[in-house]
Amino acid sequence: MKKFIKLVIIFFIIFGVGFFVMYNNFSKSIVVKEQKIIEIKEGDNFYSLSNMLKIDKNLFKIYLKFNPPSFDLQKGKYVIKEKSSLGNVIKQLQNPINEDIQITFLEGWNVYDIDEKLSQMGLIKKEEFIEKVTHNFKNFQQDFAFLEKIETLEGFLYPDTYNINPSSFTLDGLIYKMLKNFQDKVISKGEKKYSSKELLEIIILSSIVEKEEKNPSEKATVSGILKKRLDEGWMLGADATVCYPHKLTSEECKMVVSKYIGEKNDYNTRTMVGLPITPISNPSAETIFATMNSKSSPYYFYLHGSDGTIHYAVDNAGHEANKSKYLK
């Protein structure tokens, strides 16, 4: 009997220690990795958070038993900062948002990147942005003449940091800001006037240059090489174009680019001559102007070494030599 009691005691000690460690790890773990907007609706309570945060319901209930909030949830939208633990999340739910927050869209992001950012933050449903800027954008063409004859807003959604108020956020409002920014930083500052067709071709090429070369001092040279290949009927051979028809984010593309590199479609410049049918990303003004004022050179080829440095070649033999030398 004594032996049985000892075993029971040992079991409860082990169980208790295990539970304490698990609970402690759960309470301190990061439950929101990136900044997120949470909306509390009528009828929601603290227990509703487990679904919003996608965390274990039972552990969350236990957490609330040991750490009961000292306030009632109010209906509204709340900003949850990046790298927030569960305790930090609950602290941030004391007051709804009543001020602007900043959101950044990087140069070279495509509409799938932007959609992912907005949906992860809780501002939209997944693919809502994609649907708007690829199919339901006619209302913006009335306000921006440079959007004439385009098939998508891709390429014209200016990459920048924007102030938004989650409480009054609308997708149309954000898209208008991005297009107005493009107008102010590209159209209004351009020295030459281009037709809609010419501008679209510039933006398509710029969207490739943005993905192919990050060094500002090399963008005009890369643009010049791509223009020369285009003018002489060569394939552009830009890896950046390979993934686009598969509707992937930039990070997703990195993982599978080799899978699609030989695929034939209207975007893959490794298998087709000419430009893709639409832009593949949203370039900065710096890249657009570098493309407009591309630099002439004797080169037809370029590659980036293992350290990210670009290396040029006049012919394929030189390009192959650069591969052997710099791709290790």
Q: Do 266 and 157 share a structural domain?
A: yes
Helix (H) or strand (E) holding 323: helix 316-326
* CA 55/CA 44 separation, integer angstroms: 16
- Asked if the structure places residue 304 within a domain, the reply is no
Same domain for 103 and 190? yes
Same domain flag for 169 and 207: yes
pTM for the full model? 0.82
Continuous segment of H or E residues that includes residue 226? helix 219-231
The answer as to whether 105 is a domain residue is yes
**Are 67 and 148 found together in one domain?**
no
Tell me how far apart the alpha carbons of residues 168 and 95 are, in angstroms, rounded to a whole number.
16
Please tell me whether residues 179 and 198 are part of one structural domain: yes
Note whether 73 and 107 are same-domain residues.
no
Domain end (from 70, 91, 112):
91
What is the residue-level pLDDT of the chain in tens, covering all 328 positions? 555 565 556 555 654 444 454 545 545 565 667 788 888 888 888 888 878 877 778 877 887 887 888 888 888 888 888 888 878 887 888 877 777 889 999 999 999 999 999 999 989 999 999 999 999 999 999 999 999 989 999 999 999 999 999 888 999 999 999 999 999 999 999 778 899 999 999 999 999 999 999 999 999 999 999 999 999 999 999 999 999 999 999 999 999 999 999 999 999 999 999 999 999 999 999 999 999 999 999 999 999 998 999 999 999 999 999 999 998 7
Burial per residue of 296-328, b for 16 or more beta-carbon CB atoms within 10 angstroms, e otherwise: eeebbbbebeeeeebbbbeeeeebeebeeeeee
Neighbours of 105 (CB within 10 A): 19
Domain's final residue, options 46, 62, 91:
91
Full residue range of the structural domain in which residue 52 is found: 16-91
219: in domain: yes
Q: Nearest-CA neighbor of 211 among 262, 158, 250, 181? A: 250
CA distance 138 to 253: 29
Cα(55)–Cα(297) distance, rounded to whole angstroms? 56
Please write down the long-range contacts of 290-294, taking CB distance under 8 Å and 24 or more positions apart. Answer: 290/206, 290/209, 290/216, 290/219, 290/220, 290/223, 291/202, 291/205, 291/206, 291/209, 291/219, 291/220, 291/223, 292/190, 292/192, 292/202, 293/220, 294/220, 294/221, 294/223, 294/224, 294/227
In angstroms, the CA 157 to CA 51 distance is 32
User: What residue type is 146 in one-letter code?
Assistant: F
What distance in Å separates the CA atoms of residue 272 and residue 274, rounded to the nearest whole number? 7
- Please check whether residue 312 lies inside any domain of the structure: no
3 in a structural domain: no
Query: Is 270 found in the same domain as 174?
Result: yes
Reference 240, options 271, 212, 198; nearest CA is 212
Same domain, 50 and 136: no
Query: Is residue 131 assigned to a domain?
Result: yes
CATH of residue 39's domain is 3.30.1490
Statement to judge: residues 106 and 84 lie in one domain: no
Using CA atoms, how far residue 5 sits from 13, 14, 15, 16, 17, in Å, is 12, 14, 15, 16, 18
Q: Do 104 and 46 share a structural domain?
A: no
Q: Select from 38, 60, 91 the last residue of a domain.
A: 91
Q: Are residues 115 and 172 in the same domain?
A: yes
Give me the number of domains the chain comprises.
Answer: 2
Instruction: Say if residues 47 and 69 touch (Cβ distance below 8 Å).
Output: no
In this structure, how many other beta carbons lie within 10 angstroms of the beta carbon of residue 154? Answer: 23
Chain mean position to CA 96: 26
